[in-house]
Amino acid sequence: MLETEINILVDEFVFNHGYNPVEHIKSRIKSEKSIKNKLKDKGYDYTLANIKKYIHDVVGIRIVVSFLSDVYDIVSVLKNSQDLIIVKQQDYIKEPKDTGYISYHLNVLIPIYLNNKTEYVEGEIQIRTIAMDFWASLDHKIEYKFSDTEKIPLEVYDKMYENSLIIKELDKKMMHLNETVNKYENDKKTKNQGKYE
């Protein structure tokens, strides 16, 4: 349901702006085992009430876009959707996590229309660039190499953070390069229009 809604919103964006900023979309539904473990880690029993109250990412969507500016374009599209209720938003691009993790998160309520009522399921949408996705994937793998009781060595932690800064800078450079290319395209169109007037 959520992925369908997002695809419709992206199609509308493409129609209105003439380009598709989305590289790919991944979705997942958290497994029962994962929900149980998350509740257990938080000190709660496995009940429907606790799932609704404490699990905010039963449904997860990751939208990977081309450029940094596209992240905010997609966030704007999602915020303007009539079918999504924004519960919480976290801009880890402007305020990265201590590890260097950068992405934009939206927690949303997704309506499920039943015969005589509407129920809501909470889901998390992550919007990030290709470069951010690359870094986050490797960060995730590195974190899993260390057990719950073993801390990530400071040297590894520092290197990951340092690399996140490089990724952030690369995203800015690629966005500026894209803006330069777009300017050349617009100048070319303007010159060509002048020839026919």
Amino acid 102: pLDDT: 93
Tell me the angle at which helices 2-17 and 68-79 cross, rounded to the nearest 10 degrees: 110
| Vertex 50 angle, CA 48 and 54, to 5° | 130
**Domain-located, residue 197:** no
- What is the spatial distance between Cα 140 and Cα 157, in angstroms, rounded to a whole number? 12
**Domain-located, residue 93:** yes
**Domain-located, residue 195:** no
Give the chain's domain count: 1
CB 123 within 8 A of CB 107: yes
**Domain-located, residue 97:** yes
**Domain-located, residue 196:** no
**Domain-located, residue 134:** yes
CATH number at residue 48: 3.30.460.10
Nearest to 174 by CA among 93, 69, 67: 67
**Domain-located, residue 119:** yes
Amino acid 149: pLDDT: 64
Amino acid 128: pLDDT: 97
Render each residue's pLDDT in the chain as its tens digit; 197 residues: 678 888 888 999 999 998 999 999 999 888 899 889 889 989 999 988 888 888 888 889 999 999 999 999 999 999 999 889 999 999 999 999 888 899 999 999 888 888 888 888 889 999 999 999 999 998 888 877 776 667 888 898 899 899 999 999 999 999 999 999 989 888 887 877 766 65
**Domain-located, residue 191:** no
Where in the sequence is the domain holding 33, given as residue range(s)? Answer: 2-185
